[in-house]
Structure 1
Amino acid sequence: MNPLFSSIRILWLSSCLLLSSQFSQAQAVYFPEAGADWAQRQPAELGLDAQKLQAAVDFALANEYSGPRDLRMAILKGFEREPYHEIIGPVKKRGGPAGMILKNGYVVAKWGDTRRVDMTFSVTKSYLSTVAGLALQQGLIASVHDPVASYVWDGTFEGAHNSLISWDHLLTQSSDWSGQLWGGYDWADRPPRQGGLDEWRARRLNPPGTVFEYNDVRVNVLAYSLLQVWRKPLPQVLKENIMDPIGASTTWRWYGYENSWVTLDGLRMQSVSGGGHSGGGIFISTEDHARFGLLF
């Protein structure tokens, strides 16, 4: 495993369950060939308790997300408190529960349609952080502690506060970046229960690196900044460097918003989103998620 991937400190959340275990260096880890059916093993063959595994599967099936399968309705309801929130990226109705449990790469339990493509919301952040790791590996970013303003000079990081923000701050969601991107304001993303528009707009900014806050506008700022560094669409970067080499299917997609198109080097390209907060993000199957997860 490339150590750069493990250095990116964004928690990987996935719709598929991957169980890690220690194994000796002499023990081979299976990785499925592209297009092949995923090899399965009985739990007992790999030292696992079949009854406990089945209990985990039963729990997953019995605890499906309670919101509507029409995710447009679920998104609008979930973020109804946010000022100016709207859906501006693609949305897809979800399927039922689906997942896989792997041991040494082999499937020891699975449920649902593991090849169905669904929205995966903030799982997208794991793919985004991987693209950042690749930029670091290839020397496009010299250090995660560099100020992003030295790479992106179009005004996105202007000002006494934003100019101090580093790549590390964006990756750890501790930047407290202040501004507006693709119609979304940083202060309007998951606002506090107390106060109103005037208080939220005039809030005191935290020094970069001091306070963690989950904020999709700032994650989209990271995606936009990486697009400026790579100078080509991030889905293309991911496909060429990760998804094709690991044998992922051709069914996954990574979307941005209807208004997140920019021109770089005379070419029109879309800045993708880091989740499905306003639509968009990674649409992918459980099996392709699992291939990606085996890298870690």
Structure 2
Amino acid sequence: MIAAIAPLIVALLVGPDADAEVVFPGEGWEHRDPAELGLDPEALDRFAEELGGRGCVVRNGYVVKQWGDQSERSDWYSSVKPLFSTLLFFAIEEGRVSGVDQPVAEFGWDLQGNDRAITFRHLADMTSGYARPEPPGAAWAYNDFAIQLYQQTLFDRVFRGEPGEVVCDPARLGPLGFQDGLEFNGRRRLIASVRDFARLDWFWLNRGRWGDRQLLPSRFFDDFMTPDVPADLPQTAKAETEDPLGLGTFGGGSDHFTEFGPGIYGFNWWFNASGRTHPGTRTWPDAPPDAVMTIGFGGNCSVILPGDRIVVASARGDWGRLEAGQAESTMNRRLSSLMRAIEPGRD
């Protein structure tokens, strides 16, 4: 029993805290005072107060700040999308999919014309052209009809299982030991607690490692946890389109939310890079260059800071809108507030 509840501790020689022990939670997260891990407690309190909602901050595998009900489960909206790409990587590793560039039509979909060339990569990068006028790879469109094609291909035709069972399989993400359990609604959006979403973030930050096991080869993160949409890719044309397979929507339209993806999006993560709409600055000017985010409707977002060994999971937080390159945007100001806790004395 002691072994079951004790955190898993491994040494990872990466980043500025190369000598620090990195912890992976057991049944629950271990907690540490933020000052013990080099953080400014007062600045961290201000960050949490500004953000609101429910959330937790993890450094080196320890929870250093939490607010709101940690066990409450709620909808993470589009923040679940990188989980779909993670499942794609497992499918490739298991030999179920030949690679990210395999056409999804090979899994029995009655796709017609240009749509027959849609690949998993196109779906993960929002460049598929599904329910849009352009062929695959020709334009960017944040597309919640295409995401339904993505997740339905994975769950129903690749793994052939219920989402919760597929994700929590002992050979996949079961070892993460989700404390409050995961649930998927009818649209396959994830219902989870902040402390369990933080486990996903910690798995991603550690590039497929959990404790002393490499659950997913790190090469998938080396190759695909990076901006993958070309920075010069044009925006989809304004046009009336239809959903040819009748899949329905994940929540939004076939061209909605944002035009900022080219240069900063890849396999459903958002990256701190320059892009088509902001060539002279990063997505979030006050965050480190290696910052990664998941962004979901209603302030259901998470932050991954690999170099600082920090993740933040935030449900219903005040993140504002994605306004790439804008220093005065709410999202950038929240990240700036977080950085003041990480770098005491930062202006």
Fold conserved between structures, TM > 0.5: yes
Residues 253 and 294 of structure 1: CA distance in aligned 2, closer, same or farther (over 3 Å): same
Q: 1:290 aligns with which of 195, 198, 201?
A: 198
Offset, 1:117? 0.8
The yes-or-no answer on 1:216 pairing with 2:144 is: yes
Q: In 2 relative to 1, CA 242–138 (structure 1 residues): closer, same or farther, beyond 3 Å?
A: closer
Task: State the Cα distance separating 1:24 from its structure 2 match.
Answer: 4.5
Corresponding residue SS for 2:91: helix
Q: In 2, distance between residues paired with 1:238 and 1:295? A: 13
- In 2, distance between residues paired with 1:248 and 1:217? 29
Alpha-carbon distance between aligned partners in 2 of 1:249 and 1:54, rounded to the nearest angstrom: 25
Structure-2 change in CA distance of 1:153 and 1:124 (3 Å): same
Is it true that 1:254 corresponds to 2:176 in the alignment? no
Which residue pairs with 2:47 in the alignment?
56
- 1:153 correspondence with 2:108: yes
8 Å contact from structure 2 (residues 164, 182) kept in 1: no
Contact 2:100 2:121 in 1 (8 A): yes
Paired residues for 1:13-52 under 5 Å: 22-34=15-27, 36=28, 38-52=29-43
Q: Report how far residue 134 of structure 1 moved.
A: 0.7
Provide Cα deviations, 1:151-181, integer angstroms capped at 9, x if missing partner: x2241x2x22101111100111110113xxx
Instruction: In structure 2, give the amino acid aligned to 1:126.
Output: P
Q: 2:80 aligns with which of 124, 129, 132?
A: 124
1:154–1:169 CA distance, 2 compared to 1 (3 A): closer
* Partner Cα distance (2:109, 2:55) in 1: 42
Offset of 1:98 from its aligned partner?
Answer: 0.6
Equivalent position of 2:123 in the other structure: 170
| Counterpart residue number, 1:105 | 61
Q: Distance in 2 between matches of 1:44 and 1:22?
A: 19
Provide structure 1 residue ranges, at least 5 long, that are not aligned to the other structure.
1-20, 62-96, 179-186, 188-204, 258-272, 274-280
Q: Distance in 1 between matches of 2:42 and 2:102?
A: 50
From 150, 153, 159, the counterpart of 1:230: 159
Distance in 2 between residues matched to 1:214 and 1:228, nearest whole Å: 23
Task: Please report how far the alpha carbon of residue 23 of structure 1 lies from its aligned counterpart in structure 2 after TM superposition.
Answer: 4.0
Match of 1:182 in 2: none
Report if the CA contact (8 A) 2:180-2:192 is conserved. no
Following superposition, the deviation at residue 55 of structure 1 comes to 1.3
CA deviations 1:223-278 (Å, max 9, x no partner) are: 11112111222321101144420111253201225xxxxxxxxxxxxxxx3xxxxx
Alignment size in residue pairs: 189
Residue type of the alignment partner of 1:173: M
Q: Secondary structure at the match of 1:122?
A: helix
- What is the aligned partner in structure 1 of residue 336 from structure 2? none
1:114 counterpart residue number: 70
Over the aligned positions, Cα root-mean-square deviation in angstroms equals 1.8
Contact 2:181 2:192 in 1 (8 A): yes
Distance 1:32 1:129 in 2: 23
Counterpart of 1:233, as a letter, is: E
Q: Distance in 2 between matches of 1:132 and 1:249?
A: 24
Contact 2:182 2:190 in 1 (8 A): yes
The structure with higher relative contact order (CA 8 Å, sep 6+) is: 1
Shift of 1:60: 1.1
Give per-residue Cα distances to partners, 1:11-54, cap 9 Å, x unaligned.
xxxxxxxxxx93444421111112x3x22112221111122211
Q: Is the 8 A contact 1:145 1:167 kept in 2?
A: yes
Report runs of 4+ in structure 1 exceeding 3 Å deviation.
23-26
CA distance in 2, matches of 1:103, 1:154: 43
Asked whether the 8 Å contact 1:131–1:234 carries over to 2, the reply is: no
Deviation at 1:145, TM superposition (A): 1.1
Deviation at residue 123 of structure 1 after TM alignment: 1.5
Take 1:57 and 1:120, find their aligned partners in 2: how far apart are those partners? 18
- Is the alpha carbon distance of 1:294 and 1:107 closer, same or farther for their aligned partners in structure 2, counting shifts above 3 Å? same
CA displacement, residues 174-195 of structure 1 (integer Å, 9 cap, x when unaligned)? 10113xxxxxxxx6xxxxxxxx
Cα pair distance change 1:287/1:242, threshold 3 Å:
farther
Unaligned runs of 5+ in 2: 1-13, 205-347
